[in-house]
Amino acid sequence: MTAPTAGPAVGPPLGMLAELTHRCPLQCGYCSNPVELLKANRELDTQAWLDTFEQAADLGILQVHLSGGEPTLRKDLERLIACLDARGVYTNLITAAVTLTRDRLEAFAEAGLAHAQVSFQGACAETTERVGHYKNAHQKKRQAAAWIRELGLPLTVNAPIHKLNIHEVPDFVALALELGAERLEIANVQYYGWAYLNRAALLPDYDAVMRQVDYVEKTREELTGVLNIDFVTPDYYADYPKPCMGGWAADAFMITPDGTVLPCHAAQTITSLAFHRVGEKPLREIWENSEAFNRFRGFDWMPEPCRSCERKEIDFGGCRCQAFAMTGDAAATDPTCIKSPHHAALRDLPPEEPIRRRVVGRQSAST
Ligand code: SF4
Ligand code: FES
């Protein structure tokens, strides 16, 4: 076990992502879950999640994103929402929405759910089924979105973008407007875990990305006051990295289905770091004092060129997980930065293969 270390002054976290399960009816080839998925028997039980949420509320958390896998596969989700609501914590359900019923959604709303986010793998039925490998998925998602609006819950449409659906970006805008969504998240896939494995098949070409950027910037302005469009940019084609997580362990953390507490969803890919589980240590101690959380806080850990760069307070040196995946050194400058010596390697894609898709407990190949 690693000893606690003194680090920079640490404020309270604001947000938490609770990955309640890795089980999921969809099999997307860019899933943000780890490549080694946890089976149901490794999941925290209801009481352990309730204890964790109480600790998170004591720590100052203001909002919790309930995610997975598919979080609605947890039969105790209503209880978990009610616990957070009783502590005044804002809850956001992140769902693929293909197994939802109106009764279940009503139970979530009664328990105090504040917001729902429904992912669409395509803007039309054919693409949604092709990417998520689930029959009638598009129609089921549309129905769930309609129920969410009927119940008076704010709705976000989440659109993960990659080579197979980048041409549908205008149709995603039309879909979000038709469904009465408050917000559309056009989220270019980030290449970690499953998406990194499948990057040759998923990474769109440069021209398609530039057309998308122009369209989103123009449409965002046109729809001001009608639809909020969040845009997660494709950093493989950018000159500078994104400020991943707003900085390592700055104001948010996540918890995996078995209770491992992480500074970001891909942190376990950094094999040089050790992480604690809830139950082993109080959440406050993990947040404030654990070696892994303090490792990349602040600016002192930065090597050159980040250390003396004028952008270090804008992007915090980029993404530690991306740096580790591409260079083997989590402290390296994110290779998406033009100042990184590894920047040119971003274009070295492996040969394109059939997309490997996630199935809990095993991997499978698919075209
Ligand atoms: Fe950001 Fe570091 Fe690149 Fe500067 S050198 S832009 S801080 S990643
Ligand atoms: Fe881990 Fe960016 S995903 S730091």
Strand partners, 155: 116
pLDDT value for 3: 43
Say whether 319 counts as a known binding-site residue.
no
> Which residues of the chain, if any, have pLDDT below 70?
1-8, 358-367
Q: Give 223-279 pLDDT, tens digit per residue.
A: 999 999 999 887 788 889 999 999 999 999 999 999 999 999 999 999 999 999 999
Between the CA of 246 and the centroid of ligand 2 the distance, in Å, is: 10
- State the ligand closest to the CA atom of 191: 2
Residues contacting ligand 2 via CB (< 6 Å): 192, 244-245, 248, 264, 266-267, 319-321
pTM: 0.91
pLDDT value for 361: 39
The residue whose CA is least distant from atom 1 of ligand 2 is: 321
pLDDT value for 354: 73
Between the CA of 320 and the centroid of ligand 2 the distance, in Å, is: 5
pLDDT value for 365: 40
User: Would you say the CB of residue 305 lies under 6 angstroms from ligand 1?
Assistant: yes
pLDDT value for 5: 47
Atom of ligand 2 nearest to the CA of 320: 4
Peptide bond into 298 cis (omega under 30): no
Q: How many CB atoms lie within 10 A of CB 350?
A: 10
Angle at 154 between CA 253 and CA 27, to 5 degrees: 60
Select from 212, 214, 191, 193 the least CA-distant residue to 202: 191
Give the integer Cα–Cα distance in Å for 146 and 149. 5
pLDDT value for 362: 37
Say whether 309 counts as a known binding-site residue.
no
Q: Which residue has the tokens 């279940």?
A: 104
Q: Which residue has the tokens 């399960």?
A: 21
pLDDT value for 38: 86
Between the CA of 86 and the centroid of ligand 2 the distance, in Å, is: 31
- State the ligand closest to the CA atom of 249: 2
List domains and CATH numbers for the chain: 15-232 (3.20.20.70), 252-348 (no CATH)
pLDDT value for 126: 97
User: Would you say the CB of residue 315 lies under 6 angstroms from ligand 1?
Assistant: yes
Between the CA of 324 and the centroid of ligand 1 the distance, in Å, is: 15
Q: The dihedral of CA 72, 77, 78, 81: what is its sign?
A: negative
Between the CA of 80 and the centroid of ligand 2 the distance, in Å, is: 27
Instruction: Give this complex's ipTM.
Output: 0.92
Supply the angle between the helices 137-150 and 102-111 in degrees, to the nearest 10. 40
Say whether 244 counts as a known binding-site residue.
no
User: Would you say the CB of residue 149 lies under 6 angstroms from ligand 1?
Assistant: no
Between the CA of 174 and the centroid of ligand 1 the distance, in Å, is: 36
Give the integer Cα–Cα distance in Å for 130 and 127. 5
Supply the angle between the helices 77-86 and 102-111 in degrees, to the nearest 10. 20
Atom of ligand 2 nearest to the CA of 267: 1
